[in-house]
Amino acid sequence: MAPMPQGSIRRTAAAGPLPERVRRGPGTRLVPWDWTDMALFFALFFLGLSLLSAILLNPGVEHFGRSLVHGLSPQQQTALGNFVEQAAVYALAMIIVAGFALGRRHARLADLGWRLPRLRWLAVAVVVSAVSLVTLTWLLNVEAGLVHVQNAQIATVQSEYGNQVGIALVMFAVVAPLAEETFFRGFIYGWMRRRLNVPAAAVLSGCFFAAAHVSWGVTSEEILFLPLALLGTALALLYEYSGSLLPGAVVHGIFNLVEALQIL
């Protein structure tokens, strides 16, 4: 696919001359992200993480939280605690990205990808989910067999959620897919796509997606990189051609759902 044509130049008070939002599919445009959005995002995100940590570890907040879960089993308390912490981190990222799109770039949430796709894309998402599950599970098993290790994230998920399947599924099949598609596809891929053609932007953003999920230096984590990079590339292509984050969120959610059920 050839690079997209650039729109006319317009000026925003916040960021100076910027290309007009580039059209991408019927009725959709790309938010005009640039490197300053990336730099500001990570600065605000890590500052926000520090503030969240200070709030959640505050003795008064901890006491209030314990009072809410009083009477629940220790495993339920642990699962709910991890759910709240992870949901807060995802919410922080989504608020920053949406705030930048609406306020800094004067775009719409639809430009970010929050729009209903054509119905056929939901059917495509189901097919992609099935193919991804079969192909990437096989690839991961091959890698694990070659290096004789088990996927380390299995132990991590089990320690965080135990047998609290309902709480885990809300996180892995709903919250995480919606938040990660907004960040990795709407923001990271959207920024790369304004500078690169579709294949390059999809592959690079897929690698970024995989790298963010892997603990480097741990072989049992590193084997996840290739399968997740391929999944991230497929999700970027779904976003590109559907013009919506929702097909990718469906694939992401089904993939996480099946994996979580196998682990828990």
14-69 pLDDT per residue, tens = 333 333 334 455 455 789 999 999 999 999 999 999 999 999 888 888 888 888 88
Query: What are the start-end ranges of the E strands in the chain?
Result: 9-12, 16-19, 22-23, 29-30
Token representation of residue 38: 């990336």
Mark the ranges of the chain whose per-residue pLDDT is less than 70.
1-28, 150-152
CA distances from 205 to 14, 44, 168, 169, 250 (A): 26, 21, 26, 26, 18
Amino acid found at 221: E
Where do the structural domains in the chain lie, given as residue ranges? 9-263
Contacts of 202 (CB under 8 A, 6+ apart): 189, 233, 236, 237, 240
Q: What is the pTM of this model?
A: 0.86
C-alpha–C-alpha distance, residues 10 and 46, integer Å? 31
pLDDT of residue 9: 33
**What is the average pLDDT value for the chain, to the nearest integer?**
87
